[in-house]
Amino acid sequence: MSQHTSQWRYAAYGLAGLPLAMSALPVYVQVPAYYTSVHGMSLATLGWILFAARLVDTVQDPLLGHAIDRLHGGIARWMAPAALLLALSFAGLWLPPMAGVSSGWWLAAMLVLVYTAHSMVNIAYLAWGARIGGHDNKPAQLAAAGWREGAGLVGVMLASVIPAAILQGDPARAPADMLLFSALFGGLLLLAMLALLRAAPAWPQPVQAAADWRAALRRMAANQGFRRLLAPYFLNALSVSLPATLALFFINDRLQAGAMAGPFLACYFAAAACGLPLWTRLAARIGPAACWRLGMVLAVLGFAGASLLGPGDTWPYLAVCIAAGAALGADLAMPPVLLARLIDTGESTGIYYGTLTLLGKLALALSGLALPVLAWLGYRPGVAEHTLALALVYAGVPCLLKLLALYSLKSLSRLAPPLPSSSRSIP
C-alpha cells in the first residue's frame, strides 16, 4: 500500500472523530447552560444530576471495553446500533417533555443513554486506532491519531459555534434549533460510520482470544507502565473537565460577554487544530510523554491568568483561549498514542481504553459537583455577583491539577521513547 493511499485510509478512519467530538462538547459544555436558562433548572439540582449520570456512565466503560475485545469480526454489528442510539438520544437530550415527566428525570435518562452509546462507539474506535498497521507500527498509529484528533477539533468547532449561537438567541426557539443541530450531527455520524466501516484500515483481529474479564483485569493491573499513566491522565482530565463545565458561566457572568461565547470557543479549538500537526511531529522526535509534558506547561502558562480577568476583559481572554487551545492538541493526541505503546503485543486493547475512558468520565462526574459547590458559595447563574469563586474554580483549580499531572508524568518518558529517525516523516 502506498503512503498516499494509506493517508486516505487513515483519513477514513479519522473522520469519525468529527461527530464523536461534535456530540461530546454540547453534552459537557452547553447542557448545563441550556437546562438552567431554557428550562429553569436550579444549579444545585443540575450539578447532582450531572454527577449521578456521569458516575453511572463511568463504571460501565471497562465492561464495554472487555466486550469489544471479545468481538470476532462483528464490528459493524456493534457500531451500527450504538451509532443509532447515540443519534436518537442526543436529539432527545434537547427536547424534554413539557408535561408528564420532570425535566430532571428526562435529563438523567437521556444523559445515561448518550453516555452509553458514545462509549460503545468511542472505546471501539480508540481500540481500532491502537492496532492500525499492527502492534509495532507506531508511525501508523500516530498518523491515525492525528487524523482522528484533527477531525475531532473540526467537530468541536462546529459544536462550540452553533449551540452557543442558539443559546444566545430566543430561548423559545432553542429546542427547535437544537433539534436541527441534532439532525446535522446524525447525518455526519452516518457518513463517518460508512467511511470507517468501508474505507478505513480493517478492524484489527486479536492475535489471541480475549481472556475472561478477571484474567484481563489481572493482566492489565500487572502492566507497570499503564499503572503509571493512570494518575497523570486522571488529574489532567479533571483539569480539563472543570473549565469545560464552567466555561459558559464564566463567559456570561464573570466576563459579561455572553455574545462572544461562540467566537471564544471557536478560537480555542481553532488554535488546537492548528497546533495538532505540530504536536504529532514533535512527538515523533521526543516521544509522546515528553510532548504531553510540554503541552501541560503551555496550558498552565496560558490559562493561569484567566482567574484574574473580569468584566470587559475580552481581548485578554481571547489570548487565553488561543494559548490554552494551542496546548490542547497534546492533551488530545498523546494519551491514546502513549497507551498504545504500553500495551504488550497480542494483548486485548478494549479493556485498557475502557479503563482510560472510565477515568476521564470520573473526572467529568466530579467536575459536575463544582456547580452545587458554587451555589453554596453564593454564585447564581445570570447574576454578576460572587463570581470570584467562579473564576478560581474555573481557572485556578485546573492549573493546580495540571501541575500535579505534570509532576506525576515524569516517570513515563523512558517507557515511550521517540520513534526511530527513519519513521519521523510520517505525519
Tell me the angle at which helices 103-130 and 75-93 cross, rounded to the nearest 10 degrees. Answer: 150
Q: What is the pLDDT of residue 161?
A: 80
pLDDT value at 88 more than 90: yes
Give the residue carrying C-alpha cell 429546542: 175
Q: Residue 192: count other Cβ atoms within 10 Å of its Cβ.
A: 25
Half-sphere exposure of 185 (CA within 13 A, CB side): 34
Question: Per-domain residue ranges for the chain?
Answer: 3-423
Q: Who's near 56: CB < 8 A, 6+ residues apart?
A: 112, 115
Classify residue 46 as exposed, middle or buried by CB count within 10 Å of its CB (0-12, 13-18, 19+). buried
pLDDT value at 246 more than 60: yes
Q: Report which DSSP code applies to 252.
A: I
Amino acid type, 83: A
Q: Residue 371: count other Cβ atoms within 10 Å of its Cβ.
A: 27
Q: Per-residue pLDDT tens for 123-181?
A: 888 878 777 765 555 667 677 777 887 888 788 788 878 887 887 778 788 888 989 99
Q: Which three cell numbers stand for residue 55?
A: 458516575
Fold of 3-423: Growth Hormone; Chain: A; (1.20.1250)
Q: Report which DSSP code applies to 259.
A: G
Rounded to 5 degrees, φ, ψ at 244 are -65, -40
Q: Which three cell numbers stand for residue 406?
A: 505534570
When pLDDT is cut at 50, 70 and 90, the band that residue 98 belongs to is: low
Q: Per-residue pLDDT tens for 26-85?
A: 787 788 878 887 778 888 888 888 888 877 777 777 778 777 777 766 788 889 999 999
Q: Which of 303, 266, 41 is nearest to 164 (CA)?
A: 266
Distance CA 110, CA 422 (A): 48
pTM exceeds cut of 0.75: no
Half-sphere exposure of 42 (CA within 13 A, CB side): 8
**How many residues can be counted in the chain?**
427
Classify residue 357 as exposed, middle or buried by CB count within 10 Å of its CB (0-12, 13-18, 19+). buried
Distance CA 28, CA 54 (A): 10
pLDDT value at 333 more than 50: yes
Q: What percent of the chain has pLDDT over 70?
A: 87
Q: What mean pLDDT, rounded, does the chain reach?
A: 81
